[in-house]
Amino acid sequence: MYKLKLIIRYLVRRRITHFAVLTVALCVFIVVVVMTVMNGLVEEFKQKNHDFVGDCVVGTKSLVGFPYYEELMQALEATACVEAVSPVVKNYALLRPQYGGDRYVELLGIDPVRHSRVTNFAQTLYYRAADPAKAFVPVYEPNALGCVLGIDLALWRDARSEYTFDATPQRAAFSLTCFPLNARGAPAMAGTTVVSSQQFYYSDNSHSGIARVDDSTVYIPLDQAQSLCMAGERKRITAVHIRFRAGAELYGGCEQVRRLWSQFRQARADAPDGRLLDTVTVESWKEHRRAYIAPMEKEETLMSVMFSLVGITTVFIVFVVFYVIVSHKTKDIGVLKSVGASSASVMGLFSGFAFVVGLLGSVAGIAAGWLFLAYINRIEDWLYSRFGFQLWDRTIYAIGEIPHEVEFHVLAVIAFCAIVACLIGALVPAWGAARLRPVETLHGSRS
């Protein structure tokens, strides 16, 4: 009982204890805020990539593509775990606006309805979100060929990195130029005209939230992409995107697709152009987008390492504070032992004290972090309006607002780590206190 009483009194009366609590609170505050924002950014980025790709991709990195995809899609649709499939042609093209200038773009040939069942394509549209079947129908020229531009290809951002939309898409024509490849991977009409060009009208824009996609992707109808980019007897695509049914496990589903693909490929090994199937792989969305997600995850890992250093700093600060406290309290330790307190009890006193310091620091840090996160977007708005300073450049991070959703399990882990850091920091001083001989501490020291 005396321990509880002394812990409370040490907390209230010792100013150095207040600094220890403040230090822990500051460390916890920083970790809560940065981890929440960083986790939020990474999770949001992953989710956007997941939404962009679907659950699983059967595809090839070769621009030549692979044939027999219609039979493959039929077989996939007959698989229990598959909800929907979407054929995709991916290639590179030169985008040339009507009034000059050009730039390279990534071309995605899709069936907008099928693709919307697999990905969030429909939700990324601005004008045709409710009716993706008309995604490639320009409202101002319904009979013309339409294309959907990545939003950063179609619109400018204002000073606050926000887009300004017109009521209807502006009339604009583009020519897309590709190098069509035959089934052998050679330019289709080498020696004569080695390129295919086609004019498209701007029908809508797509905002996936992935800066790299929104800045360089043009969506066109699948059949147009096939005729622009591919030549040969059999129609080819570069990927089939798959959405699994609700409740289906990602890796289990991918494994089922892999087995199906293996059988499918064996059955067509000797078919014409069957060798093109050799380059096809089955990947989950995480594997497929690994090159984009991994750097973000690496940043998150680096952040965790940096916070481990913050944790070590906390341990050291708590160690110093407790060392000072124990040094000032040797007389108390002697008195306690003279009235019968055991070494374990003295150690318990200082360990308990460290626990309370960690607990209070954690609670204060979490409360402050929570409050800060609740207002982080308002604070950023204020900083922007007052100083023109934007914490996260939206053109890079492609976020609507700064993530601020606090996860309770993360808070619990942070608080636990803070308390453990305090206990570790106090361990040596507490052990030293417990080992003090009362004779050494009481002899000659003044009250």
Partner 1 sequence: MGERPVILKAERLHKSYRMGATRVSVLKGVDLAVEQGQFVAVIGASGSGKSTLLHLLGGLDRPNEGTVSFDGQDLNRMRSWELNRFRNEMVGFVFQFYHLLDELDVLENVFLPTMVSRGIVGWLATRKAARERALKLLEQLGLQDRARHKPYQLSGGERQRVAIGRALMNEPRLLLADEPTGNLDSTTGNGILKVLERLHQAGQTIVMVTHDERVARRAQRVITLADGKVKT
Q: Cβ closer to partner 1: 178 or 341?
A: 341
Give least dist CB 349 to partner 1, A. 10
334-393: contacts with partner 1 (CB under 8 A): 334-343, 345
Residue 241 as a binder of partner 1 (CB under 8 A): the answer is no
| CA atoms of 76 and 280, how far apart (whole Å) | 15
| DSSP collapsed to 3 states, the chain | CHHHHHHHHHHHHCHHHHHHHHHHHHHHHHHHHHHHHHHHHHHHHHHHHHHHHCCEEEECCCCCCECCHHHHHHHHHCCCCEEEEEEEEEEEEEEEECCCCCEEEEEEEECHHHHHHHCCHHHHECCCCCCHHHCCCCCCCCCCCEEEEEHHHHCCECCCCCECCCCCCCCCEEEEEECCECCCCCECCCCCCCCEEEEEEEEEEECCCCHHHHCCEEEEEHHHHHHHHECCCCCCECEEEEEECCCCCHHHHHHHHHHHHHHHHHHCCCCCCHHHHHHCEEEEHHHHCHHHHHHHHHHHHHHHHHHHHHHHHHHHHHHHHHHHHHHHCHHHHHHHHHCCCCHHHHHHHHHHHHHHHHHHHHHHHHHHHHHHHHCHHHHHHHHHHHHCCCCCCHHHHCCCCCCCCCCHHHHHHHHHHHHHHHHHHHHHHHHHHHHCCHHHHHCCCCC
Options 1, 78, 80, 309; binder of partner 1; rule CB under 8 A: 1
384-443: contacts with partner 1 (CB under 8 A): 437-439, 442-443
Q: Cβ closer to partner 1: 191 or 340?
A: 340
Give least dist CB 323 to partner 1, A. 19
Q: Is 168 exposed, middle or buried (0-12, 13-18, 19+ CB in 10 A)?
A: exposed
Residue 446 as a binder of partner 1 (CB under 8 A): the answer is yes
Q: Which residue shows structure tokens 């000073």?
A: 159
Residue 6 as a binder of partner 1 (CB under 8 A): the answer is yes
Give least dist CB 328 to partner 1, A. 10
C-alpha separations of 76 from 157, 194, 259, 261 in Å = 41, 35, 11, 9
Give least dist CB 347 to partner 1, A. 13
From residue 13 to residue 52, the character string flagging contacts with partner 1 as x (rule: CB under 8 A) and all else as - is: x---------------------------------------
Q: Cβ closer to partner 1: 189 or 344?
A: 344
Q: How far separated are the first and last CA of the chain, in Å rounded?
A: 23
Give least dist CB 437 to partner 1, A. 7
293-332: contacts with partner 1 (CB under 8 A): 331-332
User: 242, 292, 207, 246: which is closest to 53 by C-alpha?
Assistant: 242
Q: Cβ closer to partner 1: 235 or 331?
A: 331
Q: Cβ closer to partner 1: 134 or 337?
A: 337
Tell me how many residues contact partner 1 (CB under 8 A).
Answer: 30
Q: Which stretch binds partner 1 (CB under 8 A): 3-11, 198-206, 296-304, 417-425?
A: 3-11
Q: Cβ closer to partner 1: 123 or 338?
A: 338
Q: Cβ closer to partner 1: 134 or 329?
A: 329
Give least dist CB 329 to partner 1, A. 9
Q: Cβ closer to partner 1: 335 or 359?
A: 335
Q: Which stretch binds partner 1 (CB under 8 A): 2-10, 194-202, 281-289, 420-428?
A: 2-10
Give least dist CB 342 to partner 1, A. 5
269-288: contacts with partner 1 (CB under 8 A): none
Give least dist CB 439 to partner 1, A. 5
| CA atoms of 436 and 434, how far apart (whole Å) | 6
Q: Cβ closer to partner 1: 293 or 325?
A: 325
Q: Cβ closer to partner 1: 334 or 358?
A: 334
Give least dist CB 348 to partner 1, A. 11
Q: Cβ closer to partner 1: 262 or 338?
A: 338
The Cα diameter of the chain in Å comes to 106
Give least dist CB 341 to partner 1, A. 5
Give least dist CB 446 to partner 1, A. 5
Q: Which residues bind partner 1 (CB under 8 A)?
A: 1-2, 4-6, 9-10, 13, 331-332, 334-343, 345, 437-439, 442-447
